[in-house]
Structure 1
Amino acid sequence: MWPLSERFGAIVGSTLFTHAGVTIRLHRNDLPDGLDLGRVVAIDTETMGLNPHRDRLCLVQLSSGDGTAHLVQLIPENLGGQGYGAPNLKRMLADPAVTKLFHFARFDVAVLYRYLGVTTAPVVCTKVAAKLVRTFTDRHGLKDLCKELLGVDLSKQQQTSDWGAPELTPEQLAYAASDVLHLHALWAKLEGLLKREGRLDIAEGCFRFLPTRGKLDLLGYEDPDILSH
C-alpha cells in the first residue's frame, strides 16, 4: 500500500484524492463556509458503536450525488479537536429546504441529535423504502440494495474499524465515502417502485416520523415500543 502522503497528498485543507472518478474531501470540525450541496444531500454517520449514549459520533459523510464525498471528522475537545460545534453542518441538517437522504435514518438522526443537538429534517430513508416495496426478500442492507438495484458491489470490510482514531486510513475514507455516493441513484430506483406499487404516500408519512422515532429511541422507548399494544 502506498504511504498516505503519496497516495493522497498531504492532509492539508480538504482535498484528499480522486480515484475512479470519485473525489473525497476531508473536513475537520465542520463543513467549509459557503459549501452548497444542493437540495437533496446523501448523509451517513460513523460512530464508535451502536449505542448513541455511549458511543460517540466520529464522522459525518455527505454527497450531492455528483461523485464527490465530503467527510466531516468530529473530534472531542479532550482529544485535541473542536468538539461538536460545527455550525455549518448543523445549519444544513436543519434546513427545511434541503432533503437529507439516508439508509437507516432512524439511527443516524438519533445520533446527530444526541451529539449535535439538531433535529435533522426533512429526511428520506432508503431502508424504509426498500422494506415497503421489496417484500419478497429480507435483504434490505445497503450492500444488498446497491448490488441488486444498481449493480454496484460495496465493500463492508471497514465497517467495524476504529472510527475514533485521530488519523483515518485510506481504506476507512474510501469505505465512508461509498456509503453516500450511491444513495441518490438508489433512491431514484426505490421511489419508482414506491410509485408503481402505490406506496409513496405511506413512505413519506414514515419519513416524516423518523426524527421523532430517533428521539424516542434516545429516551429509551425502543423497548418497550409505545406504539405496540
Structure 2
Amino acid sequence: MTVHYHKGDLPADVTFTGAVAVDSETMGLSLVRDRLCVVQLSGGDGVAHVVQVGGALGYDCPNLKKVLADPSLLKIFHFARFDVAMVSKYLGITCAPVYCTKIASKLTRTNTDRHGLKYLCSDLLGVELSKEQQTSDWGTDGDLTPQQLTYAASDVLYLHALKDRLDALLAREGRTEIAQACFRFLPTRTALDLLDWEDIDIFAH
C-alpha cells in the first residue's frame, strides 16, 4: 500500500482511467450538521490519494472536482448515497456514473445482513479492515495522523476488487440490470436527501 497525502486539492498530474474508488471522511453522519473533511481515491493499483479539504483549506479544489465529475470515469463507492450527497453539497458537483458496493451486496448477498465494508472485505476478499480511526477528528486544520491516512486509504484500496466479486454475484443472480438502475438513480436519491426527504418514502401510499 502506498498513500499520498494532499492538502487542499489533488495534484493536476494525478489521473485515473476507467474507474476510480472514492470515499469521504466527515465530521459525522448528518448531511445537515456535518461537513466534508477528506476525500480519498484509488485507481485499484494499491495506491491511495488522500485529499484533505474544508476548514482553513476551503473547497476550492478544481483538480479533485474534475475527477469526480468526469462522465467517462466510473466512481466506485461503498454506501454511495452518503458520499455523493456530501460531494454535491460541499463541492457543488454531481458524481456520475457511480457504482455502490453496498447496494450490490444487498442485492446479491441476501443470505446475510453483513453489508458493511469491513464485512465485505472479510467475507469476499479475506481482508480484515480496522475501523479504529473511524470516529477520530477529521476536521483538524493541522496534518492528519499516519493512522488516519492508513485508515482513509484502506477504505478505497479494495473497492475495485469488491466490484469484480459483486459483479459476478449480480450476474449469477440475474440482478445486474436492477443494480445498474439503482446506481443511475443515486444522484436523484441524494438530491432528495439534501432536500430533507432523507427519511420519507415518497413512493409510499
Structure 2-normalised TM-score?
Answer: 0.97
Give the match for residue 189 of structure 1.
Answer: 165
- The 5-angstrom pairing of residues 210-229 of structure 1 reads 210-229=186-205
Q: Matches of 2:69 and 2:120 in 1, distance apart?
A: 28
Tell me, what secondary structure is at the counterpart of 2:22? Answer: strand
**1:132 and 2:107 correspond:** yes
Among 1, 9, 21, the alignment partner of 1:42 is: 21
Among 30, 38, 59, the alignment partner of 1:84 is: 59
Give the match for residue 37 of structure 2.
Answer: 58
Q: Which protein has the larger Cα radius of gyration, Structure 1 or Structure 2?
A: 1
Q: Matches of 1:167 and 1:53 in 2, distance apart?
A: 25
Give the match for residue 90 of structure 2.
Answer: 115
Tell me, what secondary structure is at the counterpart of 2:167? Answer: helix
Using CA pairs under 8 Å that are at least 6 residues apart, name the structure with larger relative contact order, 1 or 2: 2
What is the CA distance between 1:145 and its match in structure 2? Answer: 0.6
Q: Matches of 1:129 and 1:75 in 2, distance apart?
A: 31
**1:204 and 2:183 correspond:** no
What is the CA distance between 1:204 and its match in structure 2? Answer: 0.2
Give the match for residue 12 of structure 1.
Answer: none
Give the match for residue 106 of structure 1.
Answer: 81
What is the CA distance between 1:168 and its match in structure 2? Answer: 1.1
Among 75, 93, 96, the alignment partner of 2:54 is: 75
Q: Matches of 1:28 and 1:157 in 2, distance apart?
A: 23
Give the match for residue 172 of structure 1.
Answer: 148
Q: Which amino acid in the other structure matches residue 204 of structure 1? A: Q
What is the CA distance between 1:146 and its match in structure 2? Answer: 0.3
Give the match for residue 29 of structure 1.
Answer: 8
Q: Matches of 2:199 and 2:91 in 1, distance apart?
A: 24
Q: 4+ runs of 1 displaced by more than 2 Å? A: none
What is the CA distance between 1:54 and its match in structure 2? Answer: 1.6
What is the CA distance between 1:223 and its match in structure 2? Answer: 2.2
Q: Which 5+ residue runs of structure 1 have no aligned equivalent? A: 1-21
Tell me, what secondary structure is at the counterpart of 1:111? Answer: helix
Q: Which amino acid in the other structure matches residue 111 of structure 1? A: M
What is the CA distance between 1:94 and its match in structure 2? Answer: 1.0
Q: Once the two structures are superposed, what CA deviation does each residue of 1:183-205 show, in whole Å capped at 9, x if it has no partner?
A: 00011000000001110000000
Give the match for residue 6 of structure 1.
Answer: none
What is the CA distance between 1:227 and its match in structure 2? Answer: 2.0
What is the CA distance between 1:167 and its match in structure 2? Answer: 1.8
Tell me, what secondary structure is at the counterpart of 2:9? Answer: coil
Tell me, what secondary structure is at the counterpart of 2:162? Answer: helix
Task: Tell me how many residue pairs correspond in the alignment.
Answer: 204
Q: Matches of 1:196 and 1:182 in 2, distance apart?
A: 21
What is the CA distance between 1:34 and its match in structure 2? Answer: 2.6
Q: Once the two structures are superposed, what CA deviation does each residue of 1:112-132 show, in whole Å capped at 9, x if it has no partner?
A: 001000001000000000000
What is the CA distance between 1:228 and its match in structure 2? Answer: 2.0
Structure 1-normalised TM-score?
Answer: 0.87
Among 127, 135, 138, the alignment partner of 1:160 is: 135
Q: Matches of 1:201 and 1:58 in 2, distance apart?
A: 34
